[in-house]
Amino acid sequence: MRFQTRLLTALPLALALSACAVLNPPLNQLRDQGVNETTRATPAGDEELWVGLAFSGGGMRASAFAHGVVEELRVMTARPGDPDGILSELRLVTGVSGGSVTAAYYGLYGAEGVDGYRDGYLVQDGERYMANNPLNPVTIARGLSGGANGRKTFGRFLDEALFHGATFGDLARRSPIITWVNATDVANQTTFLFTPETFDALCSDLASFPISDAVAASAAYPLVFSPIVVDSHQGDCAYRAPDWLTAARYNSEATGAMRAHAAALESYATDPDMRFVKLLDGGITDNFGTTGLAVERARAEAPHAPLSAREALKLSRLLFLVADAGVEQPNDWTTRMHGPGGGQLARAIVQSAMTAASRTGFDAMRLQLDRWQEDLVDYRCSLTLAEVARLRGSAAGWDCRDLKFFVGMVSFDDLGGQMEDRLNAIPTRLALEEAEVDLSISAGRRTTHQNPEVNGFLASTARYGTDRLSAIDAGTARRIAPVGGARQIAPVSSQ
C-alpha cells in the first residue's frame, strides 16, 4: 500500500517532468536527384545453389535461435578447404526485431561473423542504456506518452557492439548478400522495408543510413521505444513512381500486403499529411520479414527476375528457411470461469494478431516461391540450346526442368517435450542469462539439423548429397522431403 501511495504521488510529477515520449529526430538524408543504387558486391560460389534465410522477432531469444540456425548450416556442410560450407551460397537474409539483428549482422559480415557473434553480442546486455524499470514513474510516464526509450539506447548498443558506424552503402559495397531489415509503418499499417525503392519514394539516400538505426526501428517494441522517425522529404525531389509500383497499387490480383506496400510508398511522395513516417517493431505487420519477396516479384520485369538470365540458367537448387523463435505462453485463465483480466486480454489480442499474420505471411511466401519456380522453369524451357549455351557457357547436360525449391521452417515446436517448455519460458527481452542464450542457440542447431527441407536440399545437391545420405543412413538426420515427384528417402533409423 505504501508503495502504491508513493507511486500515485510521484506519477503526476513524472508526467509533468516528462510530458512526452523520447523523440527521435529523422536521420534520412535528402537525395535530390537520381535513384538509389541497387548494385552489390559479386557473390561467391558457383551459382548452382541459392540459400535464403528469414529470422522472426523475439528479442535476444530470436537473435540467438537464428544464430544457431546459421551455425548449424555451416557445421553440416563445412569440409576441408571449404570451412564456410553452404554459407558461401547465402544470397538473402531478412529479419524482424530480434531476428533483424542477426540478419543485418550476417548480411554485413557473412560467414566471417559466425565465430564472434555469441560473445560479441548475444551474451552482452542489450538493455544497458535503456530505461526499462517498470516501477520508475518517469519510465511509466514516457511509455504512456509514446515510448520510454529513444534511438540512442538500443541503437547505440548495436552500433558499439556490432555495426561500428556501418551504413547501407557499406553493406552494398562489402557484401553480395541481399539484406532486408523490416520495420512497421504505423500510420499505413504495413511493412517498411529499408530498400532502394522505399528510399526513392522518400527522396532519401539509403547509402548514408546507419544499419544500427534501421535495426533499432525493426526492434522498436511499442511503448518500450519511441517510434523511429523518417522525414518524407515530400516535394524535395522529382520522384516518379515506377510502373511496377503503380501496377501493384491497382492490381486486384496482387496480394493485400503488396497493395498496402505500394499505397504506403505512394503516400510518402504525394500525401500532404504524410510529413513524417513513424516506424515501430516489424513484427506488428510481418513477423517473418517475407514481404520483400512479394515486392521483388512484383517489380520483376522478366520471368527470371530478380535473378539475371545467366543466374536463372545456372541455378539448380534453392533453399529458403524461416526461423521462428515465437513462444507459446500458458493461459491459466482457460482453467477457470473468470478472466482474462485487462492486461492478459491485451497481450492475448496482440499475440493472436501477430501469430495470425505470421501464418498468413508464411503461406503467402510459399505461394510466391512456388510461382517463381514455375516461371523459372517456363523461361528455361522456352530457350533454344544455342541461347542456353550462350548464357550458361555450355548446353552439355542441360535439363530445363532440373530446378527444385525447398521451403521450410524451424521452430521450438519441432523439439517438443521439456526442451520446448524451457524455451517457451525464455522472456522476450534484449538481455538474457547466458544459459538462456545457449539454450536458444542449441535449439536453432537441433531444429536445423533435423529439418526435412534442409536435409532434402543438401541431399539433392551434387556437392553435399553423398554426405547427407550417409548422415541419414546413420540416423543423424530425420528424413528427406521430396520435391515434386521425387522419391521419398527414409532413414535406416530416426531420432
Helix orientation angle between 151-158 and 211-218, rounded to the nearest 10 degrees:
120
**Domains in the chain and their CATH numbers?**
44-183+209-224+281-328+340-460 (3.40.1090)
How does DSSP assign 421-472, residue by residue?
HHHHTS-S-S---HHHHHHHHHHHHHHHHT-HHHHHHHHTSTTTHHHHHHHH
pLDDT of 247 > 60? The answer is yes
What per-residue confidence (pLDDT) applies to 41? 77
What per-residue confidence (pLDDT) applies to 491? 34
**Under 8 Å CB-to-CB from 28, ≥6 apart: which residues?**
199, 202, 204, 205, 209, 230, 231, 233
What mean pLDDT do residues 168-186 have? 96
Residue 267: which pLDDT band, with cuts at 50, 70 and 90? very high
Greater pLDDT, 66 or 493: 66
Tell me the H-state helices in 208-315.
211-218, 243-250, 256-270, 291-298, 309-314
What per-residue confidence (pLDDT) applies to 346? 65
What mean pLDDT do residues 229-247 have? 90
What mean pLDDT do residues 211-228 have? 91
% of the chain beyond a pLDDT of 90: 59
Helix (H) or strand (E) holding 96: strand 90-96
Helix orientation angle between 59-77 and 98-109, rounded to the nearest 10 degrees:
40
Considering the candidates 56, 97, 175, 226, report the single residue annotated as catalytic: 97
Q: What is the dihedral of CA 461, 464, 467, 471, to 10 degrees?
A: -70
pLDDT of 372 > 90? The answer is yes
Give 79's strand partners. 82
Cα radius of gyration (the chain): 23
Residue with C-alpha cell 524535395? 236
Rounded CA gap, 64 and 43, in Å? 26
* Cell triple for 319: 533453399
- pLDDT (tens digit per residue) in 274-289: 999 999 999 999 999 9
What mean pLDDT do residues 379-398 have? 96
What per-residue confidence (pLDDT) applies to 300? 82
Nearest one of 169, 189, 171 to 291, comparing CA atoms: 189
Residue 495 near residue 450, CB atoms below 8 Å: yes
- At residue 158, φ and ψ (nearest 5 deg) are -60, -45
What mean pLDDT do residues 379-405 have? 96
What mean pLDDT do residues 119-123 have? 98
pLDDT of 362 > 70? The answer is yes
Window from 48-52, 407-411, 472-476, 477-481 with minimum mean pLDDT: 477-481
User: What count of Cα atoms within 13 Å lies in the side-chain half-sphere of residue 201?
Assistant: 26
Nearest one of 220, 257, 228 to 97, comparing CA atoms: 220
pLDDT of 21 > 60? The answer is no
Query: Residue 247 burial by CB count (10 A; 0-12/13-18/19+): exposed, middle or buried?
Result: middle
Residue 258 near residue 364, CB atoms below 8 Å: no
Rounded CA gap, 476 and 449, in Å? 8
Q: Which of 16-25, 53-62, 471-480 has the highest mean pLDDT?
A: 53-62
Rounded CA gap, 93 and 51, in Å? 9
% of the chain beyond a pLDDT of 70: 81
The verdict on whether omega for the bond into residue 482 sits within 30 degrees of 0, i.e. cis, is no
Rounded CA gap, 491 and 475, in Å? 6
Residue 367: which pLDDT band, with cuts at 50, 70 and 90? confident
Rounded CA gap, 177 and 419, in Å? 33
In SS3 terms, 151-189 reads as: HHHHHHHHHHHHHCCCEHHHHHHHCCCEEEEEEEECCCC
Considering the candidates 185, 200, 213, 281, report the single residue annotated as catalytic: 281
Rounded CA gap, 136 and 452, in Å? 48
Window from 110-114, 193-197, 471-475 with minimum mean pLDDT: 471-475
- pLDDT (tens digit per residue) in 329-344: 766 667 777 767 766 6
Rounded CA gap, 281 and 283, in Å? 5
pLDDT of 132 > 70? The answer is no
Tell me if residue 97 is catalytic: yes
pTM above 0.85, yes or no: yes
End-to-end alpha carbon distance in the chain: 55
pLDDT of 447 > 90? The answer is yes
What per-residue confidence (pLDDT) applies to 478? 39
Residue 15: which pLDDT band, with cuts at 50, 70 and 90? very low
Residue 347: which pLDDT band, with cuts at 50, 70 and 90? low
pLDDT of 109 > 90? The answer is yes
Tell me if residue 231 is catalytic: no
What mean pLDDT do residues 223-230 have? 87
Greater pLDDT, 213 or 250: 213
pLDDT of 315 > 80? The answer is yes
pLDDT of 163 > 70? The answer is yes
What per-residue confidence (pLDDT) applies to 140? 53
Rounded CA gap, 18 and 14, in Å? 6
What mean pLDDT do residues 83-106 have? 96
Window from 9-23, 57-71, 200-214, 226-240 with minimum mean pLDDT: 9-23
pLDDT of 481 > 50? The answer is no
What per-residue confidence (pLDDT) applies to 131? 61
State the chain's mean pLDDT as an integer: 85
Rounded CA gap, 275 and 263, in Å? 15
What per-residue confidence (pLDDT) applies to 343? 64
What per-residue confidence (pLDDT) applies to 480? 36
- pLDDT (tens digit per residue) in 57-82: 999 999 999 999 999 999 999 999 99
Residue 470: which pLDDT band, with cuts at 50, 70 and 90? low
Rounded CA gap, 49 and 316, in Å? 6
What per-residue confidence (pLDDT) applies to 39? 76
